[in-house]
């Protein structure tokens, strides 16, 4: 087995490729987020219905992840990821051609299936090609790309939506992503440690799936992903509701630039990832949840500075928690069904975002922002319980203490 060495030319190409893939994936997925309030006003629908432009996409993505391991095991990680990015970009352009909101939602749902070919396979690729002692920082860099992609999509669509229309904004973003997808395919190094599996019987596939649910610790990690992604997407889906009202009255352009706070994820994901090489993963995860809870609470304060500060702390904690959980899943899952374990983690991760975001709309409508934030804080309290239940494998989590011989 030949692993990619940190600092090598292949390492730099792989890192840049993962960054590009994340930009395409997450800008396509979350680009329409600043438009949720616009959709609700333009089409006269509820907050929950308008948020389906994100929720349906992530739900379809979650479902698609269950089956994506089959083609990736046969045709290779690079091929599946490349096709996924190209189809996602094309579907993003096509979705903008619909003026009926429900046709638009149908296109977004199909787009979710095409997106499924990248996220879980990217993690599998990194776990296969990089050694275990460096995977924390490498995946941290991949997660940081998620932040840049989400920001790019929100800023482009928010700004162009104000200047022209949301249709023009989506088409422009789709064209940009199409170019990036072609670049990704040319840049990503071929797999060195991938073994082609021409055939996988239904029995073998089902056995691997059952193996992913025999391990209680894996189930706990699935739950952590479900809850973390859920509260993150829910808050960013609906933050436009208080900020576009008096006394703030933000435009779509300004609201899009508010999401620049996601850039802090490029730092926090790497920082949290490196921290797991030094201390227990569960403690690092608990630190992430503290940041999420504090950030969500600060958005309750009326002062705009505190709201933005709260959003920043919230995003800092989320990307750190995601980086820890992403690397954790690779350590806990056996090699023979590592791809399926990663797929199930991502499935719960994205289905969590759709369910929590959709239900959060009802709390927002019924009890306003206070009720909505209370709902998120309850979910974060449950996350603490799941983290403690996980009980990390200490031999992977702790660096031996150095004894000072002078004492």
In a domain, 194, yes or no: no
In a domain, 1, yes or no: no
Query: Which SS3 state, helix, strand or coil, does residue 282 take?
Result: helix
Q: Can you tell me the mean pLDDT for 328-350?
A: 76
- Report the chain's mean pLDDT, rounded to a whole number: 85
- Give the model confidence (pLDDT) of 259-304 as tens digits: 888 888 778 887 887 887 778 888 899 999 999 999 999 999 999 9
CATH number of the structural domain spanning residue 35 = 1.20.1250.20
What's the pLDDT at 208? Answer: 67
Task: Please list, in sequence order, all residues whose beta carbon lies within 8 angstroms of the beta carbon of residue 405, skipping any fewer than 6 positions away.
Answer: none
Name the residue with higher pLDDT: 401 or 115. 115
Range of the structural domain that residue 122 is part of:
9-186+210-397
- Spatial distance between the Cα atoms of 301 and 360, rounded to a whole number of angstroms: 19
In a domain, 280, yes or no: yes
What's the pLDDT at 92? Answer: 94
Dihedral sign of CA atoms 211, 215, 216, 222 in order: negative
Count structural domains, the chain.
Answer: 1
In a domain, 192, yes or no: no
Question: In 3D, which of 279, 278, 22, 280 has the Cα closest to residue 141?
Answer: 22
Q: Can you tell me the mean pLDDT for 363-389?
A: 95
- Give the model confidence (pLDDT) of 363-375 as tens digits: 999 999 999 999 9
In a domain, 16, yes or no: yes
What's the pLDDT at 394? Answer: 47
Query: Is the pLDDT confidence value at 24 over 90?
Result: yes
- Spatial distance between the Cα atoms of 173 and 149, rounded to a whole number of angstroms: 11
What's the pLDDT at 198? Answer: 56
Percent of the chain with pLDDT over 70: 86
Q: Where residue 145 falls among pLDDT bands split at 50, 70, 90?
A: confident
Name the residue with higher pLDDT: 211 or 185. 185
Q: What is the pTM of this model?
A: 0.82
In a domain, 402, yes or no: no
- Spatial distance between the Cα atoms of 277 and 274, rounded to a whole number of angstroms: 5
In a domain, 202, yes or no: no
Beta carbons of 228 and 292 less than 8 angstroms apart? yes
- Spatial distance between the Cα atoms of 214 and 222, rounded to a whole number of angstroms: 13
Task: Please list, in sequence order, all residues whose beta carbon lies within 8 angstroms of the beta carbon of residue 151, skipping any fewer than 6 positions away.
Answer: 259, 260, 262, 263
Query: Is the pLDDT confidence value at 75 over 80?
Result: no
What's the pLDDT at 312? Answer: 95
In a domain, 191, yes or no: no
Dihedral sign of CA atoms 298, 299, 300, 303 in order: positive
């Amino acid at each position: 087995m030949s692993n990619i060495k940190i600092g090598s030319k292949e390492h730099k190409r792989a890192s840049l490729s993962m960054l590009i893939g994340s930009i395409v994936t997450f800008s396509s997925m979350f680009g329409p987020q600043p438009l949720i309030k616009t959709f609700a006003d333009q089409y006269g629908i509820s907050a929950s219905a308008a948020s389906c432009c994100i929720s349906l996409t992530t739900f379809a993505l979650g479902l698609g992840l269950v089956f994506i391991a089959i083609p990736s095991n046969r045709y290779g990680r690079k091929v599946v990821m490349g096709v996924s990015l190209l189809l996602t970009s094309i579907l993003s352009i096509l979705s903008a051609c619909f003026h009926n909101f429900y046709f638009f939602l149908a296109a977004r749902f199909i787009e979710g299936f095409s997106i499924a070919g990248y996220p879980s396979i990217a993690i599998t690729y990194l776990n296969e090609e990089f050694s275990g002692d460096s995977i924390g920082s490498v995946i941290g860099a991949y997660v940081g790309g998620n932040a840049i992609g989400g920001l790019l999509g929100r800023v482009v669509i928010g700004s162009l939506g104000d200047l022209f229309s949301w249709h023009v904004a989506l088409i422009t973003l789709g064209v940009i992503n199409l170019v990036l997808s072609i670049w990704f395919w040319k840049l990503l190094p071929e797999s060195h440690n991938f073994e082609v599996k021409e055939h996988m019987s239904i029995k073998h596939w089902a056995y691997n799936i059952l193996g992913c649910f025999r391990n209680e610790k894996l189930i706990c990690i699935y739950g952590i992903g479900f809850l973390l992604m859920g509260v993150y997407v829910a808050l960013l889906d609906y933050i436009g509701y208080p900020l576009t009202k008096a006394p703030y009255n933000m435009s779509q352009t300004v609201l899009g630039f508010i999401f620049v706070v996601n850039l802090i994820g490029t730092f926090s994901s790497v920082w949290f990832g490196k921290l797991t090489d030094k201390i227990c993963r569960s403690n690092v995860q608990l630190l992430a949840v503290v940041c999420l809870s504090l950030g969500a609470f600060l958005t309750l304060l009326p002062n705009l500075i505190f709201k933005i500060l709260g959003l920043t702390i919230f995003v800092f904690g989320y990307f750190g928690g995601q980086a820890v959980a992403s690397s954790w899943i690779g350590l806990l899952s056996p090699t023979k069904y590592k791809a399926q374990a990663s797929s199930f983690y991502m499935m719960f991760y994205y289905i969590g975002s759709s369910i929590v975001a959709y239900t959060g709309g009802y709390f927002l409508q019924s009890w306003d922002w206070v009720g909505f934030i209370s709902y998120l804080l309850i979910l974060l309290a449950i996350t603490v319980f799941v983290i403690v239940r996980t009980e990390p494998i200490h031999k992977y989590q702790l660096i031996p203490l150095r004894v000072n011989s002078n004492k």
